[in-house]
Amino acid sequence: QKEVEQDPGPLSVPEGAIVSLNCTYSNSAFQYFMWYRQYSRKGPELLMYTYSSGNKEDGRFTAQVDKSSKYISLFIRDSQPSDSATYLCAMRRAGSYQLTFGKGTKLSVIP
Amino acid sequence: GAVVSQHPSWVICKSGTSVKIECRSLDFQATTMFWYRQFPKQSLMLMATSNEGSKATYEQGVEKDKFLINHASLTLSTLTVTSAHPEDSSFYICSAQLPSHEPYEQYFGPGTRLTVT
């Protein structure tokens, strides 16, 4: 079993839809959870990070962490064609620099 | 803020030659930088952790003599792929860590696409 599982998609939604992206993990030591957006042939861009369980909102983006279920989510409201990208979840233990990434979910928002 | 650049963005080289990739933090000092490799439709795989002024720490399975990393200053780390072979063709991405305490946010460069012919 991989430490971090993420459905690679692809996921295609109409413009304006609510998008739900998810990752599951097996290592209960993970404390920090991140979501990165990666456009084609570009490096990942940090979207949000969350410490431990709970929700965090930033504009159209909401990150949720449920440590009891080892499940994290990223919601995108009012999705736009410019949101079309690959979304990577990443996580790490407290005190460690190392990030463990999911495979990424490729999202297409259709105008 | 927190901009990381990489150079070159794309390089083609012949088998057996060496290629150097630079990673720079443009507006902050990074004591720790990371080098990743990404194959098509795959996630980022950490190759090594680079600390300024000390030897890099390589992940299991990464040949340190093949992938030479030098972190000579707080804003520059270089990755040299020595005696490159076609199987080294990949997308190489660096990141720099900010700040030096939790949450240890990493900011990524735009990546370098290496093609070995």
Spatial separation of the C-alpha atoms in residues A33 and A56, rounded to whole Å: 11
**pLDDT-above-90 percentage for chain A:** 77
For B111, the closest of A43, A95, A98 (CB atoms) is A43
What is B53-107 written as a DSSP string? TS--EEPTT--TTTEEEEEEETTEEEEEE-S--GGG-EEEEEEEEESSSTT-EEE
Pick B99 or B60 by higher pLDDT: B60
Both tokens of B13, joined, read 């080289």
Instruction: Determine the distance in angstroms separating the CA of A5 from the nearest CA of chain B, rounded to an integer.
Output: 11
Name A52's Cβ contacts closer than 8 Å, sequence gap at least 6.
A31, A65, A67
Question: Which of the residues A23, A100, A101 would you substitute to probe the B interface, choosing the one with the greatest number of B C-beta atoms within 10 Å?
Answer: A101
Name the helix (H) or strand (E) containing A30: strand A30-38
Name B51's Cβ contacts closer than 8 Å, sequence gap at least 6.
B31, B32, B57, B71
Interface of A with B (CB under 8 A): 6, 8, 32, 36, 41-46, 49, 51, 88, 92, 94-95, 97-99, 101-104
CA-based nearest residue to A81, from A46, A105, A42, A108: A108
Instruction: Determine the distance in angstroms separating the CA of B78 from the nearest CA of chain A, rounded to an integer.
Output: 17
Both tokens of A56, joined, read 């965090």
Over residues B90-101, mean pLDDT: 85
Instruction: Determine the distance in angstroms separating the CA of B112 from the nearest CA of chain A, rounded to an integer.
Output: 9
For B108, the closest of A6, A41, A44 (CB atoms) is A44
Question: Which of the residues A97, A103, A105, A106 would you substitute to probe the B interface, choosing the one with the greatest number of B C-beta atoms within 10 Å?
Answer: A97
Please judge whether A41 and B43 are an interchain contact, meaning their C-beta atoms are less than 8 angstroms apart: no
Spatial separation of the C-alpha atoms in residues B67 and B81, rounded to whole Å: 5
Spatial separation of the C-alpha atoms in residues A74 and A45, rounded to whole Å: 15
Phi first, then psi, for residue B69 (nearest 5°) are -120, 135
Please judge whether A43 and B42 are an interchain contact, meaning their C-beta atoms are less than 8 angstroms apart: no
Enter the DSSP assignment of B15.
Answer: T
What confidence category does residue B102 fall into, taking pLDDT thresholds of 50, 70 and 90? low
Q: How far is CA B3 from CA A23, B11, B99, B105, B114, in A?
A: 27, 22, 13, 12, 22
The pLDDT, as a whole number, for residue A97 is: 81
Q: For the segment A6-39, what is each residue's pLDDT rounded down to a tens digit?
A: 988 899 999 999 999 999 999 999 999 999 999 9
